[in-house]
Amino acid sequence: MTSMLFPPLEPHCIPESDLLVAASRVFHTCIPNHQSLASTILGLVSIGSWLFAQVPQIIKNTQRQSVDGLSWGFLMLWLLGDICNLTGAVMLDQMWFQQIIAAYYVFVDTVLVTQFLWYGVVYRVKELEKRLEGVTIGGNSNSDDEGDSIASDSNADLKQKRADEGAAVARSKMPSVAHTTFVTVSLLGTLAGALPVNGGVPAMPTLGDVSGGWLSDELIEAIGMTVGWISTLLYLCSRLPQLILNAKRKSTEGLSIALFMAAFSGNLFYSGSLLLNPLGWRDYEPYGGGGVAGPEGSNAMEWWSRTLPFFFGAFGVLTMDAAVGLQFRLWGPGSEKAQIEEEEREGLLTAREAGYGSLESS
């Protein structure tokens, strides 16, 4: 059992110390020097940051049964960026932790988008229908026929108005639902169709195992690079709809600050891990650097050419996440604006209670 959990090292893996030997066996990868260890640790911390990044927002949406604080554009750009990121990371054969994070991104994004569609469309329409069912048509039993007629007409108008509101909400949301479904299914379908099948099981092509396939290494790398840069552009634009929505509302109500704090930390550690990776510092012969390079060796310039889109996608978003953090500072809980609103709310409640007290005393 021990050998299965911590297998022996490959002959080409030659760590510099016993600590690195143990780390290589624990992480099932060759960690020959302390720079590689630092890069690996930052990658793992990045995974840890992202594992729970969206969970507070998912919980908040469930508790509020609302997604009013979230921008639809933010979620869609984020999801599409993560789909492109996963595709590019696998096709360019990026480091294992990059592929794990990318796959997890897509999964959790799908949960958030599902919540948005449920609470923003289905749940809202159902709530409107319940309100309509609760409208009672009738008047005061002590009123005359004319009063009954006016009350009945008024309630009927109210019911019709709410019905129109529900229909308008459904009509306004349905194009977004249809568009989302079409785009997501099209992207996933295109991705699935591009994968060669081996033994009936789809297998994502990599630069090392597609020789002799129907796609050349050069074409796969070109596609991976293109998709990677598209993901970078989507990431850089993803926060803009949310920043604009927060600025229009002058509020961050409905948003979880933990989401953006974790996103900032995850992107920071992810960028740091890539910067410290030894493959980006020098060229290596096959299995060079004590095993840090693979059987084909490694060229630093080529490594960075494949890695840059993912690095800029993470590093560039740091400023956007920091801007969202500033908005929480200006308009979030505990801000001066929030305190003023709370004082005004307490003042209204106090005035209302005072009014009720005077009516009871009279």
| DSSP per position, 185-213 | HHHHHHHHHTSPEETTEE----TTT-TTS
With a CB cutoff of 8 Å and minimum separation 6, the contacts of 18 are none
- The partner residues of 284 in beta bridges, in order of sequence, read 298
Phi, then psi, of 287 in degrees rounded to 5: 60, 25
Helices 72-91 + 217-249 axis angle, to 10: 160
Same domain, 46 and 8: no
Give domain status of residue 73, yes or no.
yes
Same domain, 124 and 143: yes
Alpha helices in 118-144 (DSSP H): 123-134
Are residues 242 and 235 in contact, defined by beta-carbon separation less than 8 angstroms? no
Are residues 96 and 31 in contact, defined by beta-carbon separation less than 8 angstroms? no
The distance of Cα 167 from the centroid of its chain, to the nearest Å, equals 30
> Cα-atom radius of gyration of the chain, to the nearest Å?
28
Give domain status of residue 337, yes or no.
no
Same domain, 13 and 152: no
Same domain, 21 and 48: no
3-class state of residue 223 by DSSP: helix
Whole-number pLDDT of residue 5:
66
Same domain, 71 and 163: yes
Are residues 269 and 277 in contact, defined by beta-carbon separation less than 8 angstroms? no
Same domain, 19 and 167: no
Same domain, 219 and 163: yes
Same domain, 189 and 298: yes
Same domain, 9 and 41: no
Same domain, 175 and 311: yes
**What distance in Å separates the CA atoms of residue 11 and residue 73, rounded to the nearest whole number?**
50
Whole-number pLDDT of residue 299:
92
**What distance in Å separates the CA atoms of residue 148 and residue 55, rounded to the nearest whole number?**
52
- The partner residues of 197 in beta bridges, in order of sequence, read 202
Cα 44–45–50 angle (5° rounding)?
A: 100
Give domain status of residue 305, yes or no.
yes
Give domain status of residue 352, yes or no.
no
Give domain status of residue 265, yes or no.
yes
Residue type, 203: A
Parent domain of 1: 1-32
- pLDDT per position as a tens digit, 69-80: 889 999 999 899
How far is the CA of 330 from the CAs of 242, 319, 325, in angstroms?
15, 17, 9
**What distance in Å separates the CA atoms of residue 110 and residue 76, rounded to the nearest whole number?**
10
Give domain status of residue 361, yes or no.
no
**What distance in Å separates the CA atoms of residue 49 and residue 36, rounded to the nearest whole number?**
20
Give domain status of residue 341, yes or no.
no
Same domain, 189 and 137: yes
Are residues 345 and 265 in contact, defined by beta-carbon separation less than 8 angstroms? no
Regions of the chain short of the pLDDT cut 70: 1-5, 129, 131-215, 334-362
Specify burial of residue 249 (Cβ count, 10 A radius: 0-12, 13-18, 19+).
middle
Whole-number pLDDT of residue 11:
86
Cα 273–279–282 angle (5° rounding)?
A: 125
Specify burial of residue 356 (Cβ count, 10 A radius: 0-12, 13-18, 19+).
exposed
**What distance in Å separates the CA atoms of residue 110 and residue 101, rounded to the nearest whole number?**
14
The distance of Cα 344 from the centroid of its chain, to the nearest Å, equals 35
How far is the CA of 153 from the CAs of 132, 138, 139, 349, in angstroms?
15, 9, 10, 33
- pLDDT per position as a tens digit, 280-323: 999 999 989 888 888 888 999 999 988 888 898 888 889 899 99
Whole-number pLDDT of residue 309:
87
Cα–Cα nearest to 113, from 167, 185, 164? 185
Same domain, 168 and 298: yes
Cα–Cα nearest to 105, from 90, 122, 120? 90
Overall domain count for the chain: 2
Give domain status of residue 340, yes or no.
no
Whole-number pLDDT of residue 285:
93
Are residues 21 and 15 in contact, defined by beta-carbon separation less than 8 angstroms? yes
